Amino acid sequence: MKTTSLKLSALASALLLAGCGGGSSTTADNTAITTSNSLSKISGTVPGTLIEAFCEDGSYYKVKSIENNTDEHPFEIEIPSTLSCSLVMTTNEDDTVNKVVTQIGMITPDANGTLFTAVSDVDLGHIPLAMDPSNINDSNGDHVSDDILNIRVDGISIVIELENPLDDDNDGLVNVYEDDDNDGISNYEDDDDDGDGMVDVDNDLDDDGIDNDNDVDDDNDGIRDSEDSDDDNDGIDDYLDSDDDNDGIDDEDEGSTDTTTDIVLPTAYTANAGRLLGSQCAQCHGTNGISTNEWDSIAGEDDLGSEIFDDEPIMSAQAHGYTSEEIILIGNWLKTLKTND
């Protein structure tokens, strides 16, 4: 993939991180996108565009520029300042004939690349994106530019990441907009990425290069899976869907490596009422009535009632909390412990 450089001035907000305290970005259809507590704002102007941010953890953010009756529509998109992300911009996004998808790259004094961390707010200025697919290099006709539009960023706003987990073939273009089978349809819109005649069923629903198990937004709809009621966008709510991420593996079986045999629980179990009632006895006389201190062991006690009421003032005081029936139950339990005495 070729690169085209565009020198623009970027405004950095000193060393302070922007947007602390949490918040959300908003899609063009007013869908809230939950973001992290520390946000950075990427802004600029474009000629009518969908702006998408694909981040290394699988999260996804998007916004449309604002129509203002000029050729320079303003936009602002907030992304976590703790995540590395990649920007893609699409003009005429709703026009299948004239849309143009452009991968954005960043150039700093230290490095250049398509994956970056915005450590503070940055203004990219005006970005003169192509509006006509005939004006871009597009070898396979999928409306995705083969060239990266690189923007020079001065200051400390952007940190470039050299390794991009969103770009498996290292050509600078995020996996989502690759065309693996060269059929003129990008992976994100292609139900058969590899051209084998079968509808894709894999572990990466949105083709962003991150397995569903590690992807916080499986379908790239801008809503994190933890908050999304339909993770795979198949029209079936997750609580009714036996395969939330649409990878062909039943949710009950997915990720299970347990080869142990099932634990068989007892089908009949009756708690010993005397033991439960006599649990207070353990404070002085030890567990199961077997003393480990100067107090007597009472395991195997034959005449608990007589000892309580006639001989021991302390036990007599304790007995006021029990009925006669309960004392009998405690005594019967202690008798069963005679062999442990």
Residues 264-277: tens digit of each pLDDT: 544 554 556 777 77
* Cα distance between residue 59 and residue 56, in whole Å: 7
Structure confidence by residue, pLDDT tens digits, 6-55: 544 333 332 222 333 333 444 434 333 444 459 999 999 999 899 999 99
What does the domain layout of the chain look like in residue ranges? 2-200, 273-340
Q: Are 200 and 192 in contact (CB under 8 A)?
A: yes
What's domain 273-340's superfamily in CATH? Cytochrome c-like domain (1.10.760.10)
Q: What is the pLDDT of residues 247-257, one digit of tens each?
A: 566 666 655 44
Res 225 pLDDT > 60: yes
pTM value is 0.55
CB 304 within 8 A of CB 331: yes
Contact, 172 vs 148, CB < 8 A? yes
| pLDDT tier, 323 (very low <50, low <70, confident <90, very high otherwise) | confident
Q: What share of the chain is helix, strand, coil (3-state, %, to 5)?
A: 15, 25, 60
Instruction: Identify the weakest region by mean pLDDT among 75-79, 265-269, 333-337.
Output: 265-269
pLDDT at 175 over 80: yes
